[in-house]
Chains A and B, each alone.
Chain A
Amino acid sequence: MTDEPLVLGIETSCDETGVGVVRGTTLLADAVASSVDEHARFGGVVPEVASRAHLEAMVPTIDRALKEAGVSATDLDGIAVTAGPGLAGALLVGVSAAKAYAYALGKPLYGVNHLASHICVDQLEHGALPEPTMALLVSGGHSSLLLSSDITSDVRPMGATIDDAAGEAFDKIARVLNLGFPGGPVIDRYAREGDPEAIAFPRGLTGPRDPVYDFSFSGLKTAVARWIEAKRAAGEEVPVRDVAASFQEAVVDVLTRKAVRACKDEGVDHLMIGGGVAANSRLRALAQERCEAAGIRLRVPRPKLCTDNGAMVAALGAEMVARNRPASSWDLSADSSLPVTEPHVPGHDHVHEISGENLYS
């Protein structure tokens, strides 16, 4: 047990400054500082506000995580950090911190993929990931269906959203309903008292000729906004609870239907759901129901591990150490569009291309 790698992970791809500590598949600490309140009045995450908040929160959050874990920095076997994908400027704060920390401590550095980390975090909850695992990742930044046979080296994209992320749709509809930001939790709450079948909102990309595993939430978003506006234009009261429930049902119906279909098609008997939207109670319930019916074992981490956090990065870093993956080099860069097929960024000889356009604004 104590032979398992002790890793500290840093996550700054969006608005949460997360620092986690794990030993192998055991969670020791999960410290998060969120700047969500600073973004609330803008109705979405403002990149420059997020970058500023990460800089201020980093050192205190590292301190807090180490204290919570009851370990000393010198005992660490490695430092892991989200290298991408995410907001370029925000990622860069975390990468700078992780590199300096690893360098100063003389520890190996592992730049890892944010999406692979969302999958790997479930090891902290339910033990080693089955291989292969099908993963449905849904949040404000991503909506993907991924198949992994080895989380440190093989993540294959099955499908993804072709427009908005699922979480974005929740935020947008919450804004139209004047429910505030972020939209996920508040829609979930209103939906519990509403009728999911009250209004028949469209299910995107579910036609016979549509891509089987891809998602689209833009059309649904527009349909719901139009429906609400029509009600208002007619001077009628908007049934907020029914709208929330019917909208939410349209989202989770498509997500779970496609995820279960992918499992069946690929002969995979495990489905993992991660990302902030995985905290949605209806998504969890419907996924459970449909997985049971299909003979699939469902794995969903507790909500705090589903949203962005440092423990998920540490979990993947620990797996990198355990499987002897090469460390990253000191010139590791933040890559805002790091492909999902690259679970980590090993050291390299060539100069890495910067892909983030607004990285140095």
Chain B
Amino acid sequence: MTVALHDGTDVIASSSQVDARRHGELLLPAVDRVLGEAGLALGAVTGVVVGIGPGPYTGLRVGLMTADTFGLALGVPVHGVCTLDGLAYAADLPGPFVVATDARRKEVYWARYADSRTRVTDPAVDRPADIAEQVEGLPAVGAGALLYPDTFPQAHEPEHVSAAALARLAAEKLARGEELPAPRPLYLRRPDAQVPKNYKVVTPK
């Protein structure tokens, strides 16, 4: 859970906490704290940037819903940034590498990059062993890479994405006149749904 305030030049205040269980409670107080640190009110914000995943759905929705609603209340644009892109940006690597985050269920969310600003594959969710060939020989960043050293022997920091990196990346892209993705979630998995066993149809019409 991470919040940052960017003034167009650089990040002026930020807060990051790793507590995957309490996003719903912690996010708004963190926004309040970061704004307070900068001596500003939310009304001063001219745009909102939000990580669109891939990532755990519940936390993802807390972030997206908060950003969506800020945008509605303030009448300012809301931009999405792929969470893996934020990590890649923060990794600050010049050559090809991989970003992999923990997708649980023994899987990772991942994508390949030509450099810190250039993603070359769509974000995907896979078992580390199944993508070993595709990431072979490449350095890797992110918690998912650190978690599976067999697949990612060259794994290193940063482990988690920061809102500061998302904000810097978005500010850079917007300044260049680039379009950012819509603030809609990248779930990558279909919802788990048990289809109940149906009775055989013998009912008359």
Contact A105 B73 (CB under 8 A): yes
Partner of B24, one of A49, A95, A104: A95
Min CB distance, B72 to chain A, in Å? Answer: 5
- B residues neighboring A (CB under 8 Å): 20-29, 31-32, 42-43, 56-59, 61-62, 64-74, 184-185, 187, 191-196, 198-204
| A176 CA to B198 CA, complexed, in Å | 8
Quick one: given A55-B65, A92-B24, are A331 and B191 in contact (CB under 8 Å)? no
Contact A359 B65 (CB under 8 A): no
Which residues in B have their C-beta under 8 angstroms from that of A320?
Answer: none
Interface centre among A63, A101, A104, A178 (most CB of B within 10 A): A104
Partner of B21, one of A52, A58, A360: A360
| A58 CA to B147 CA, complexed, in Å | 36
Min CB distance, B20 to chain A, in Å? Answer: 6
A358 to B, closest residue via Cβ: B58
A-B CB proximity, top 6 nearest: A104-B73, A48-B191, A100-B69, A96-B65, A100-B66, A43-B196
Could you say which interface size class chain A belongs to? 35 or more
A74 to B, closest residue via Cβ: B73
| A92 CA to B193 CA, complexed, in Å | 19
Which residues in A have their C-beta under 8 angstroms from that of B20?
Answer: 360
A60 to B, closest residue via Cβ: B72
Quick one: given A49-B193, A99-B66, A101-B73, are A89 and B25 in contact (CB under 8 Å)? no
Min CB distance, A100 to chain B, in Å? Answer: 4
Q: How many A-B contacts are there with CB distance less than 8 Å?
A: 132
| A237 CA to B205 CA, complexed, in Å | 11
Min CB distance, A243 to chain B, in Å? Answer: 10
Contact B68 A175 (CB under 8 A): no
| A52 CA to B61 CA, complexed, in Å | 8
Partner of A104, one of B22, B23, B70, B194: B70
| A62 CA to B73 CA, complexed, in Å | 10
Partner of A175, one of B65, B185, B194, B198: B198
Contact A59 B72 (CB under 8 A): yes
A331 to B, closest residue via Cβ: B25
Contact B196 A175 (CB under 8 A): yes
Which residues in B have their C-beta under 8 angstroms from that of A51?
Answer: 57-58, 61
Min CB distance, A145 to chain B, in Å? Answer: 29
Contact A42 B193 (CB under 8 A): yes
What's the dominant secondary structure at chain B's contact region? helix
Contact A59 B191 (CB under 8 A): no
Contact B56 A101 (CB under 8 A): no
- Check if A71 is an interface residue, CB within 8 A of chain B: no
Min CB distance, B170 to chain A, in Å? Answer: 19
Contact A100 B58 (CB under 8 A): no
Partner of B199, one of A44, A55, A93, A178: A178
| A177 CA to B205 CA, complexed, in Å | 11
Which residues in B have their C-beta under 8 angstroms from that of A176?
Answer: 199
| A44 CA to B73 CA, complexed, in Å | 34
Which residues in B have their C-beta under 8 angstroms from that of A95?
Answer: 24
Which residues in B have their C-beta under 8 angstroms from that of A134?
Answer: none
Contact A58 B59 (CB under 8 A): no
Quick one: given A43-B198, A330-B32, are A52 and B24 in contact (CB under 8 Å)? no
Contact A331 B28 (CB under 8 A): yes
Quick one: given A58-B65, A62-B72, are A238 and B21 in contact (CB under 8 Å)? no
B19 to A, closest residue via Cβ: A360
Given contacts A44-B196, A92-B24, A97-B65, 13 further A-B contacts (CB under 8 A): A42-B194, A46-B191, A48-B192, A51-B61, A52-B191, A58-B68, A96-B69, A100-B69, A101-B72, A104-B69, A175-B196, A237-B204, A360-B56
Contact A55 B204 (CB under 8 A): no
| A89 CA to B61 CA, complexed, in Å | 9
- Chain A residues 205 to 226 lying within 8 A of chain B, measured CB to CB, are none
Which residues in B have their C-beta under 8 angstroms from that of A59?
Answer: 68-69, 71-72
Quick one: given A63-B72, A104-B73, A332-B25, are A46 and B193 in contact (CB under 8 Å)? yes
| A315 CA to B20 CA, complexed, in Å | 34
Min CB distance, A257 to chain B, in Å? Answer: 30
- Check if A333 is an interface residue, CB within 8 A of chain B: yes
